[in-house]
Amino acid sequence: MMKNMKIVMIAAVMAAGFLAGCSSIDEPVGEQTYRPAKFDESFAQGQASYTSSVFSILERQRRVDTYKKIYDFCSGRYQTLGESNDGEKVHISFACLPKTLAQSNYSAQPGLPTHY
């Protein structure tokens, strides 16, 4: 019983390690050193990637993790600009959306009549 628990724990740690670190933000466009003083992070562009896998469930999880990292990098919504696969990694180009464009569609639009 104890031996089986140990094997399960080791397998869980190995699986977590296998999934972790498989996606990353590779190329935020424009190094911070050279950005203008009033640079708006919401206009940043970059490239993220994840390691491809022959197992579709791992590939899907890595893609989801990559999307989460892009979302965190952009502090919100983003738009994908393209995708490529070099056989080892899948690369996703993205652009962060300005906060004003990323607001909900339910926000009040100027010029439209309001009803009380």
Q: For residue 111, how many C-alpha atoms fall within 13 Å in the half-sphere facing its CB?
A: 0
Contact 80, 93 (CB under 8 A): yes
Q: How much of the chain, in percent, has pLDDT values that exceed 90?
A: 34
pLDDT per residue as tens digits for the range 80-93:
999 999 989 999 99
Identify residue 13 by its one-letter amino acid code. V
pLDDT at 45 exceeding the cut of 60: yes
Contact 59, 41 (CB under 8 A): no
pTM: 0.60
Q: How many other C-beta atoms lie within 10 A of the C-beta of residue 69?
A: 15
